[in-house]
Amino acid sequence: MADFYFQTKDLSVGYDGKPLIRDISIGIEKGEIVTLIGPNGSGKSTILKSIARQLKTIAGTVLIEKNDLKSLSYRETAQKMAVVLTERIKAELMTCWDVAATGRYPYTGRLGILTREDKAKVAAALEAVHALDLAQRDFAKASDGQRQRVLLARAICQEPDIIVLDEPTSFLDIRHKLELLSILRSMAKENRITVIMSLHEIDLAKKISDKIMCVKGETIGQYGTPEEVFREANIRSLYEIKQGFFDPVFGSIELSKPEGEAKVLVISACGTGIPVYRQLQKENVPFCAGILYTNDIDYRVARLLAAEVIEEKPFCAISDAAFEREAYWIQRAERIIDAGVEIGNGNQRMRDLLILAEQSGKLQRGWCR
């Protein structure tokens, strides 16, 4: 393996000397964001704790700039690496400022008294996470989102090269999730801080990470760029999901499709079908969608939600096979919804199909209940 800034070599982690996950060998460049994904209980936290020296590693080594982590003193480690953990802290009578200021620990003297410079750094860290106005608030009374930001500020105060975060976005609402991740991104890209974290939100993981590690089973499944890792089949097998729900292109997540044979045929193009699909899904009505070109935005959603998609290759004329299938469904469906189709040279056979639909007496134009 080439020389990476942060490396694990044949790392085995687990509890009480029993390995849970074996042979983790990964390399991370400085300033990269690496995200661990995987189902609950798969060992993401175990890996993170082992990297952060909270847990004894069972075998293998963790290297920072080619130095074995174990050879560093606790203080040296603390100056290189900061953590944000999932466990709730019971800070009694501590303000958010006090909590953030503990991050200066590895730099202060014997009694831990903050210098003017330390204080300025604490203030800057709080400002970076937009929490300076929380400084005097009692930490125990702050909201989950505020606490998480203060804990991130605490980690920033520690001036680490690497920051390890265990599910930093749990408990946060969507706005604070996005805020937190964008703070992490700017830390990684502007300050060259390496970020190693676990996330539950695979859609967000895909969008923020430089590398993804899939954690499941005895060894880590896949490690690579999001483009390599986020293939639908990978994600399905990682989380043991039976039905398609994840779109690797947009990273969007859908609920499972309604079960059973299609009752409704939806004819649409260029996004007009999506609201119809969603409504039918909410009503738990199985439907068939088509004819859709596979580059149509409707297609990406339909393949996750529709019982059947009648598809056609992009920029081609509608083939006989697709035409016949559509005609079959026009006959069979209980309802036909025309959400709006632009007809041009390529798909002019749609016109014939729409006439067929019209004649069937089941056609409903546009979307109305």
Interface residues with another protein (CB under 8 A) are 49, 52-54, 73-79, 81-83, 85, 87, 89-94, 97-99, 102-103, 105-106, 108, 110-113, 119-120, 123, 127, 132-133, 135-136, 140, 158
Provide, rounded to whole angstroms, the least separation between the CB of residue 102 and another protein.
6
Of 72 and 356, nearer to another protein (C-beta) is 72
CA atoms within 13 A on the CB side of 56: 5
CA dist., res. 328 & res. 48, Å (int): 54
Pair 52, 42: CB distance under 8 Å: no
Of 34 and 135, nearer to another protein (C-beta) is 135
Of 119 and 313, nearer to another protein (C-beta) is 119
Neighbours of 261 (CB within 10 A): 10
CA dist., res. 129 & res. 182, Å (int): 10
Tell whether the torsion through CA atoms of 306, 307, 310 and 311 is positive or negative. positive
Of 123 and 241, nearer to another protein (C-beta) is 123
Provide, rounded to whole angstroms, the least separation between the CB of residue 214 and another protein.
25
Provide, rounded to whole angstroms, the least separation between the CB of residue 103 and another protein.
7
CA-based nearest residue to 104, from 124, 127, 90, 86: 124
CA-based nearest residue to 96, from 149, 141, 148, 150: 150
Joined together, the tokens standing for residue 275 give 């609201």
Q: Which residues pair with 168 in a beta bridge?
A: none
Joined together, the tokens standing for residue 181 give 């991740």
Provide, rounded to whole angstroms, the least separation between the CB of residue 146 and another protein.
15
Provide, rounded to whole angstroms, the least separation between the CB of residue 113 and another protein.
7
Of 92 and 342, nearer to another protein (C-beta) is 92
Of 34 and 99, nearer to another protein (C-beta) is 99
Pair 310, 329: CB distance under 8 Å: yes
Instruction: Concatenate the DSSP letters of all residues of 158-193 into one string.
Output: T--SEEEEESTTTT--HHHHHHHHHHHHHHHHHS--
Provide, rounded to whole angstroms, the least separation between the CB of residue 197 and another protein.
14
Provide, rounded to whole angstroms, the least separation between the CB of residue 30 and another protein.
20
Neighbours of 279 (CB within 10 A): 14
Provide, rounded to whole angstroms, the least separation between the CB of residue 205 and another protein.
23
CA dist., res. 101 & res. 78, Å (int): 14
Of 115 and 295, nearer to another protein (C-beta) is 115
Of 146 and 347, nearer to another protein (C-beta) is 146
Joined together, the tokens standing for residue 124 give 């800057």
Provide, rounded to whole angstroms, the least separation between the CB of residue 363 and another protein.
59
Neighbours of 105 (CB within 10 A): 14
255 φ/ψ sector (left φ>0, alpha ψ -120 to 50, else beta):
beta
Provide, rounded to whole angstroms, the least separation between the CB of residue 221 and another protein.
27
Backbone angles phi, psi at 105, to 5 degrees: -45, -50
Of 78 and 181, nearer to another protein (C-beta) is 78
Of 122 and 205, nearer to another protein (C-beta) is 122
DSSP 113: P
Pair 152, 168: CB distance under 8 Å: yes
